[in-house]
Structure 1
């Protein structure tokens, strides 16, 4: 592998971060090759302040190929300075990638990265020396990066958009770009950053716009919770379809909800593997529903997967808050089996979505060590991608300690205090 070579305006076409984000989202970049990835050297991260949660997440993201490629492209081909910009989180991630692209084996210090984060409004709760939850940290980080990219897209002017559309031959892609920009500009006026697409319909007391069946009759009303699109959502974002069937009503009420991480409940005794947990996610549930005449009925709600991301993050819900009033958050230490290849069960998909690619390969695991939720320790296993000079291989990272492991070691865990907490799967 060769060390990172600085890229200048003389050697690359330069765009704004916003324009590059649009090109990444719709695969409009030309001459994509191996130079569009940071070449990563295996390096540990020091931990002098209970930041193992951050170290583990950073290591998994650094080896995540779509994430790596996005930030390599932003680093290579975007305008702006890393000294002062409107994208401090993006700059911090690029800085980490640059550190890992420098040859050597000495562990790196993430304290500079941590200090940049702690000065950001999303991370003001961070306290040096205080353990945090790895899944929550991942969510804050991805949300922050998403917001910076959306803000950058919002700054793309109409002339730039028109020039971009002129380079697109496919009409469907043109329409998708226009819709993405429309959503971003529309939600810019929303205080919560999200919006229910809800065009009320007087018929049958339903809300939303209608889905039409084969006989051209209304079969359901649908509400979409909209969020701004960005390259982060392209990589990690999927969508649930929640179907609500109300007694004595012919129509179904459908809500489309975005997700960035699938939360799987593993508490039930019958859940022993990932497939069991996915199937429980799809189990119908009875929920109280109040009609317009204030009469309460039991409606049936069922959750399906409507779309899947390129990188699927699975959160195994190991922390139970049922006994929180007693001062304890219970940790579920049961073994949950998972595999290197994952095929999401077909029954989880809506009827018209069953043809989607649902096959994934495991690329990272974040573990929580300890018998209680408070405190503990985080480590990770990551799949190092194949390079020109080396085949793909698994490595185990515990802050500054890095060891090669067999792929079977990723699936076996005999220590019930070390438990898989986050699983990262990349679409095949």
Structure 2
């Protein structure tokens, strides 16, 4: 057995705990998870059934952790997992799962299939069977501070532009302020208008904030890759910076996995609670609205719909907050079928969008989202995740759809009441 295969199998074994054993014991192979999966529904290919993507972990569990499996292994009736098996399963685990959580939501016995995929990726990654794009992004993030590489010059340039456009100062590494803002690389590279939008809103609301040079990147490639060591390092980087600055809270940006990694998984990764609050930017804006500190004037008259990012809504619990904000600034807000917690994924999350090999399958999966949009025919689509924004921009162009995509924070800032 090769050293990499042994590492991978050991990583899988480490993931097999009581919840995993309960999962494999209680799964009745009902197929409901398949009906909830964008990749199965788009292709009707049985290999994309979510539970099937976990077959290798199930084999390890059965062969090594159950009595009948051990006997079968000794008699040569069950085969061990090989390096060839892991290689064959890599596209299923990384190309055909965005970890959107829709399958988990419909499981009749409550199995968290999404988390099981995460555990499966731990073994795949340790065995060296992960997309080269994610491996490279993790290395750049660990060594240079961002999955896109060295972004300090770009960040400072975008901050300078925001200051010039708004006349509002944005300070780096300022201690004792209310919040430390983290940004996704996608926002810095593609959607930097969010900086000016936050500046105007926070100025009006009387919120003090800063950006850390040591930890400005919100994305956590370790979560997508399935490498807890990388994920832990990236979370700890943000925690150290926030605690050094003594802020009351860290604002997670319009990025799904960033929010999931820091808010819900981070304390478990580093082994202790934070000394600060983690709040998503949309949660904060809704809180300011409720407190009377966010006032708007006028409304967008276009026909707008909202795309719910999976990690923020379904996995993160932020559902009504964006709708309350949408109703503040829109005159013609229409919901799609299955909006909210059962919304269809954009198809690019969980590292799938970074994986070039998955492009054809990703395009096929988008037809479920397209069907949602075609039924309401909006002028534009609003979302609260920069990577959803990026993915939707690309696939809308690919399918010759003319809608534009808007970020919710920027939309709210556009209608900020300057006289209030």
TM-score range normalised by the length of the shorter chain: under 0.3
Please, what TM-score do these two structures have when normalized by structure 1?
Answer: 0.27
Higher helix share: 2
